[in-house]
């Protein structure tokens, strides 16, 4: 997960050290993001330092090892401003493991296989939606609430896709699946009728 810009945004507020940045990141984005690996965070800080976007300074501590405190540079502020001003495309486009499962199940020609794939995913998504709602009720941070609402809307969109897939693939008694079934040679049978031009 690319977090360098999130780290720059935290450092734009004030200088900080590794474990403090980890805690601040996790508090800022909420629990649905997951924990931030401290080793990965230090790799990001090293890269930002090499790129001249942050500087570091050692602060001696009496009992513990020296603490390395990081601060954003003008170069880092410029990078952060550029990132904030640029639209964010979907990270993986529309490549999704579940989409591939639906494709494989549909090409199998088996209504039972399609039904099982859709049912399993629907169950997972409904549990995910309940968990997100519970997290949203437990948090009073408005930004985290927004992130949790956005995550819930993504899950709801996936549930709508499942309903669409069910309607297209299963509601005609198997006729669509029969047309989509991949033959043993790997060929897809030709469509039963000519597809109408939508234009």
Asked if residue 197 belongs to a domain, the reply is no
Residues 38-97 have pLDDT tens digits of: 999 999 999 999 999 999 999 888 888 889 999 999 999 999 999 888 877 766 666 778
Class of residue 21 by CB neighbours under 10 A (exposed 0-12, middle 13-18, buried 19+)? buried
Q: Which domain holds residue 46?
A: 4-84
What are 144-153's contacts with CB under 8 Å, separation 24+? 144/28, 144/29, 144/30, 147/29, 147/30, 147/32, 147/33, 148/30, 148/32, 151/32
pLDDT value for 10: 92
pLDDT digits (tens, 9 = 90+) for 115-158: 999 999 999 999 999 999 998 888 888 988 899 999 999 999 99
DSSP 96: -
The domain tally of the chain equals 2
pTM above 0.75, yes or no: no
Q: Are residues 101 and 176 in the same domain?
A: yes
CB 18 within 8 A of CB 26: no
pLDDT score recorded for residue 166: 94
Query: Could you say which of 84, 117, 132 is where a domain stops?
Result: 84
Inform me whether the pLDDT recorded for 1 exceeds 50: no
Classify residue 12: in a domain, yes or no.
yes
How confident is the model over 11-34, as pLDDT tens digits?
999 999 999 999 988 888 877 778
């Amino acid at each position: 997960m690319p977090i360098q810009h999130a780290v720059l945004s935290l450092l734009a507020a004030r200088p900080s050290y590794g474990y403090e940045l980890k805690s601040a990141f996790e508090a800022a984005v909420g629990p649905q993001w997951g924990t931030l690996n401290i080793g990965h965070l230090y790799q990001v800080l090293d890269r930002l330092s090499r790129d001249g976007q942050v500087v570091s300074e050692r602060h001696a501590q009496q009992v513990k090892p020296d603490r390395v405190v990081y601060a954003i540079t003008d170069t880092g502020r410029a990078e952060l401003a550029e990132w904030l001003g640029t639209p964010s495309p979907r990270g993986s486009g529309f490549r999704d493991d579940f989409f591939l499962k639906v494709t494989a199940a549909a090409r199998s020609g088996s209504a039972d296989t399609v039904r099982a794939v859709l049912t399993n995913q629907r169950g997972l998504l409904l549990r995910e939606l309940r968990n997100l709602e519970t997290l949203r009720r437990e948090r009073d941070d408005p930004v985290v609430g927004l992130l949790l609402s956005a995550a819930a809307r993504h899950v709801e969109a996936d549930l709508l896709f499942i309903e669409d897939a069910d309607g297209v693939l299963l509601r005609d008694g198997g006729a669509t699946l029969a047309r989509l079934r991949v033959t043993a040679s790997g060929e897809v049978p030709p469509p039963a009728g000519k597809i109408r031009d939508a234009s």
